[in-house]
């Protein structure tokens, strides 16, 4: 089965079960300041899991682009990726455990769909936790026993069904607060023999490599409060997710995701440029890292991110720089990132047309960043030479960490350089420095997440409504060539990118500000109607995102002033917004300006 067939079958299966297909959201969360990237299929659906009605109803299915960089150091093994596609289906207060489990099993094992051997499927459930006030998920156990019984398998607990604690079988929330719940996971027995790495008796979560997790059904019936309590949600939801690449690896009986057709052309290109082969074990990791990172980079750029030292841009920069370094490790000295990205674009553009639309931009951004970093590498090499000429035999961990931190030299390159000169490096001390640094950045990350979605929601909702007022005001003051090119909202400010090829004058900025404040004072009502995208466009609503044509969408109107296609949420009346102030106006990219603004 090819990736394309798998995507189609999945959506078809759930459409047949009454689900509506929704498009993948942009990789940059529109209104979630607690995360840099969309990391799962449920992520764009949080407001609906919390109870807001979705315009397409209560059963949804999608293939969502996801970025997860927490395990970036593991990329290069057989299953870790920074970009992946997640297949998912949702019940928003509609069906619950029985249907979710039965359908998952049907899709996995029925020959009409994936046709996996039921004998090779093992499952896990939540064992309960007295502190959380949640008991063992006996309901799911009973449903699984029924399901297995139908195919002649006696599913005993401890043999086919396994109960695990919250570390394994509880999902979410994404931030500190929000929807979460117990889950049931499905595993596939690859038939590999257990290597006893994790104790005597092998089991689904043993992690020896024999069992691979293939699907996660989350029963999202709780909302975690800022006090850490799990209170029942008004509606019982189902949120399921399977990683396309891993599923494909199982279906095709491959040893790693890099051996599926999704990576064939990309790896072939890297082999061609470097003259090194994926089959040569000493080069395999570097080739895989480049393939993964440039695939992610192409998708991230297509969704409007540029390399920078902040937020999404810094993640993109890291992906490109790591690719370049590993490229040097393979002996590549010429520009190559753009060439590899062209293959990514060609392979994926049918499914993700945004890659085709931004083809030139993606290649241009990669070449520019690569050129910039090539210089950094050279400066780093000079620093290295200086260090080496000053010292004779030893380089401290602090000094090598300085090279890592300042010039982006990975330890393995520093070690290689040292080896050539027969110099010793204090690797332990390097590790200590590294750990200290990791801890500091983790604390930073924890802080970032500590607000949680719910805490920020009021401030971000207001800024979101202000963004609509801003866009319409810009169009009235500057002209209708102004289109939204990007939006990012935190609890403190809005950031709005729009098409405009020159700087705004002081006077224009004052005019726009005054117009937004006028509309706030008028206390206009904000409301929405659900229509098809075609109807929305006919009515003249602004719509700048990649919604599919047949999708039903929400059109938000603010008095008679603004009309935009948007998922919401918004305030009910503009009078709630307070006073609007433009803090900064600057260039964001060629032909795109950026405004930062606040409400007080
Ligand atoms: N939210 C769950 C996951 O990411 C299921 O979609 O695994």
Q: What is the CATH number of the domain that holds 568?
A: 3.30.980.10
Candidates 43, 86, 184, 222: which one to mutate for ligand 1, based on the most atoms within 8 Å of Cβ?
86
**Ligand 1 atom nearest to 43, measured from its CA:** 1
Q: Are 295 and 344 in contact (CB under 8 A)?
A: yes
Closest Cα to atom 3 of ligand 1: 241
User: Pick from 268, 297, 293: which is nearest to 358 by CA?
Assistant: 297
Is position 235 within any domain? yes
Is position 401 within any domain? no
Domain stops at, among 199, 216, 251: 251
Q: Are 526 and 570 in contact (CB under 8 A)?
A: yes
Q: Which two tokens stand for residue 280?
A: 């040569």
Do 230 and 283 lie in one domain? The reply is no
As a whole number of angstroms, the distance between CA 86 and CA 62 comes to 8
As a whole number of angstroms, the distance between CA 223 and CA 202 comes to 34
Q: Where are the beta strands (DSSP E) in 5-46?
A: 20-22
Do 56 and 104 lie in one domain? The reply is yes
- Going from the Cα of 137 to the center of ligand 1, the distance in angstroms, rounded, reads 18
| DSSP-based three-state secondary structure for 53 | coil
**Ligand 1 atom nearest to 40, measured from its CA:** 4
Closest Cα to atom 4 of ligand 1: 40
Is position 142 within any domain? yes
- Which run of H or E residues covers position 90? strand 83-91
Q: What is the DSSP string of 151-199?
A: TT----BTTTEEEE-HHHHEE--SSSSEEEEEEEEEEEE--PPP-STT-
Q: What is the pLDDT of residue 452?
A: 37
Do 138 and 247 lie in one domain? The reply is yes
- Going from the Cα of 88 to the center of ligand 1, the distance in angstroms, rounded, reads 8
Q: How many C-beta atoms lie closer than 10 Å to residue 340's C-beta?
A: 26
Q: Can you give the pLDDT of all 600 residues of the chain as single tens digits?
A: 999 999 999 999 999 999 999 999 999 988 677 788 998 999 899 889 988 899 999 999 999 999 998 888 889 988 999 999 999 999 999 999 999 999 999 999 999 999 999 999 999 999 999 988 899 999 999 999 999 999 999 999 999 999 999 999 999 886 667 899 999 999 999 988 876 665 668 899 987 888 999 999 999 999 988 788 899 999 999 999 999 999 999 999 999 999 999 999 999 999 999 999 999 999 999 999 999 999 999 999 999 999 987 889 989 998 998 898 889 889 998 999 999 999 999 999 999 999 999 999 999 999 999 998 887 777 777 888 888 887 666 788 888 888 877 776 767 667 767 877 788 888 888 888 877 776 655 554 444 443 333 445 678 889 999 999 999 999 999 999 998 888 888 888 999 999 998 999 999 999 999 999 999 999 999 988 878 777 887 888 887 654 444 467 788 999 999 999 887 778 889 999 999 999 999 998 778 899 999 999
Do 328 and 225 lie in one domain? The reply is no
**Ligand 1 atom nearest to 86, measured from its CA:** 6
Do 119 and 238 lie in one domain? The reply is yes
Closest Cα to atom 2 of ligand 1: 241
Helices first, then strands: H and E counts in the chain: 18, 18
Is residue 154 classed exposed, middle or buried when 0-12, 13-18 and 19+ CB atoms within 10 A define those classes?
A: exposed
Is position 416 within any domain? no
Domain stops at, among 376, 399, 423: 376
CA atoms lying within 13 Å on the CB side of residue 270: 31
Dihedral angle computed from the Cα positions of residues 63, 64, 70 and 73, in that order, rounded to the nearest 10 degrees: 60
Do 191 and 132 lie in one domain? The reply is yes
- According to DSSP, the residues that pair with 554 across neighbouring strands are 530
Q: What is the pLDDT of residue 547?
A: 44
| Number of domains present in the structure of the chain | 3
Is position 384 within any domain? no
Which residues touch 275 (CB under 8 Å, ≥6 apart)?
Answer: 331
pTM, full prediction: 0.75
Q: What range defines the domain where residue 281 resides?
A: 270-376
Do 587 and 498 lie in one domain? The reply is yes
Candidates 173, 216, 221, 242: which one to mutate for ligand 1, based on the most atoms within 8 Å of Cβ?
216
- Which run of H or E residues covers position 572? none
Is position 151 within any domain? yes
- Angle at the Cα of 337 from the Cα atoms of 294 and 308, rounded to 5 degrees: 70
**Ligand 1 atom nearest to 39, measured from its CA:** 4
Do 483 and 578 lie in one domain? The reply is yes
Q: What are phi and psi of 195, to 5 degrees?
A: -95, 15
Is position 451 within any domain? no
Do 210 and 287 lie in one domain? The reply is no
**Ligand 1 atom nearest to 88, measured from its CA:** 6
- Going from the Cα of 256 to the center of ligand 1, the distance in angstroms, rounded, reads 21
Do 65 and 116 lie in one domain? The reply is yes
Closest Cα to atom 6 of ligand 1: 241
Q: What is the pLDDT of residue 168?
A: 95
CATH number at 160 reads 3.30.930.10
- Angle at the Cα of 541 from the Cα atoms of 464 and 489, rounded to 5 degrees: 15
Tell me which residues have their CB closer than 6 angstroms to ligand 1.
40-42, 88, 171, 216, 218, 239-241
Q: What is the pLDDT of residue 389?
A: 82
Closest Cα to atom 7 of ligand 1: 241
- Going from the Cα of 38 to the center of ligand 1, the distance in angstroms, rounded, reads 12
Do 233 and 293 lie in one domain? The reply is no
Q: How many C-beta atoms lie closer than 10 Å to residue 199's C-beta?
A: 10
Is position 47 within any domain? yes
| DSSP-based three-state secondary structure for 25 | coil
Domain stops at, among 251, 283, 310: 251
Is residue 136 classed exposed, middle or buried when 0-12, 13-18 and 19+ CB atoms within 10 A define those classes?
A: middle
Q: Quote the radius of gyration of the chain (alpha carbons, Å).
A: 26
- Going from the Cα of 181 to the center of ligand 1, the distance in angstroms, rounded, reads 11
Do 291 and 245 lie in one domain? The reply is no
């Amino acid at each position: 089965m090819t990736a394309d067939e798998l995507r189609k079958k999945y959506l078809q299966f759930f459409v047949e079960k009454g689900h509506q297909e929704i498009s993948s959201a942009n990789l940059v969360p529109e209104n979630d300041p607690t995360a840099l990237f969309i990391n799962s299929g449920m992520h764009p659906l949080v407001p609906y899991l919390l109870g807001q009605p979705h315009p397409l109803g209560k059963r949804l299915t999608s293939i969502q682009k996801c970025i997860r960089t927490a395990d970036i150091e593991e990329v290069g093994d057989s299953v870790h990726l920074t970009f992946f596609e997640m297949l998912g289906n949702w019940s928003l207060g509609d069906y619950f455990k029985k249907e979710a489990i039965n359908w998952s099993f049907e899709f996995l094992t029925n020959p009409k769909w994936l046709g996996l051997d039921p004998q090779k499927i093992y499952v896990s459930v939540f064992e309960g936790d007295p502190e959380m006030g949640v008991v063992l998920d006996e309901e799911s156990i009973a449903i699984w026993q029924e399901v297995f019984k139908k195919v002649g398998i006696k599913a005993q607990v401890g043999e086919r069904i396994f109960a695990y604690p919250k570390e394994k079988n509880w999902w979410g929330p994404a931030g500190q607060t929000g929807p979460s719940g117990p889950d049931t996971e499905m595993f596939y027995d690859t038939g590999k023999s257990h290597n006893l790495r994790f104790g005597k008796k092998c089991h689904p979560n043993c992690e020896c490599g024999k069992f691979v997790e293939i699907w996660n059904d989350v029963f999202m019936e709780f909302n975690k409060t800022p006090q850490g309590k799990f209170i029942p949600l008004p509606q019982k939801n189902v949120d399921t997710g399977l990683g396309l690449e891993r599923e494909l690896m199982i279906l095709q009986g491959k040893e790693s995701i890099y051996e599926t057709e999704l990576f064939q052309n990309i790896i072939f290109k890297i082999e061609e440029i470097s003259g090194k082969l994926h089959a040569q074990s000493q080069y395999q990791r570097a080739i895989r890292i480049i393939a993964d990172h440039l695939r992610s980079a192409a998708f991230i750029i297509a969704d409007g991110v540029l390399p920078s030292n902040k937020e999404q841009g810094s993640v993109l920069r890291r992906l490109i720089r790591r690719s370049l370094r590993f490229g040097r490790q393979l002996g590549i000295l010429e520009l190559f990132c753009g060439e590899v990205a062209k293959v990514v674009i060609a392979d994926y553009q049918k499914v993700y047309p945004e890659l085709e639309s931004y083809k030139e931009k993606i290649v241009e951004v990669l070449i520019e960043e690569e050129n910039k970093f090539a210089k950094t590498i050279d400066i780093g090499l000079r620093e290295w030479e200086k260090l080496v000429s000053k010292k004779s035999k030893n380089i401290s961990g602090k000094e090598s960490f300085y090279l890592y931190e300042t010039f982006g030299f990975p330890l393995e390159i520093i070690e290689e350089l040292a080896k050539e000169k027969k110099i010793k490096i204090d690797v332990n001390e390097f590790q200590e420095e590294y750990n200290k640094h990791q801890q500091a950045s983790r604390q930073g990350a924890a802080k970032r997440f500590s607000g949680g979605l719910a805490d920020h929601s009021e401030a971000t909702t207001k800024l979101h409504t202000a963004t609509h007022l801003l866009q319409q005001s810009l169009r009235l003051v500057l002209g209708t060539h102004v289109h939204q090119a990007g939006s990012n909202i935190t609890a403190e400010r809005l950031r709005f990118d729009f098409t405009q090829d020159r700087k705004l004058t002081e006077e224009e900025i004052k005019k726009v500000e005054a117009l937004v404040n006028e509309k706030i004072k008028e206390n206009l009502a904000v409301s929405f109607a659900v229509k098809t995208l075609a109807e929305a466009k006919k009515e003249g609503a602004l719509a700048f995102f990649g919604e599919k044509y047949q999708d039903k969408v929400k059109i938000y109107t603010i008095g008679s002033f603004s009309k935009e296609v948007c998922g919401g949420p918004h305030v009910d009346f503009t009078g709630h917004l307070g006073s609007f102030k433009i803090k900064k106006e600057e260039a964001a990219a060629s032909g795109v300006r950026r405004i930062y603004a606040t409400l007080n």
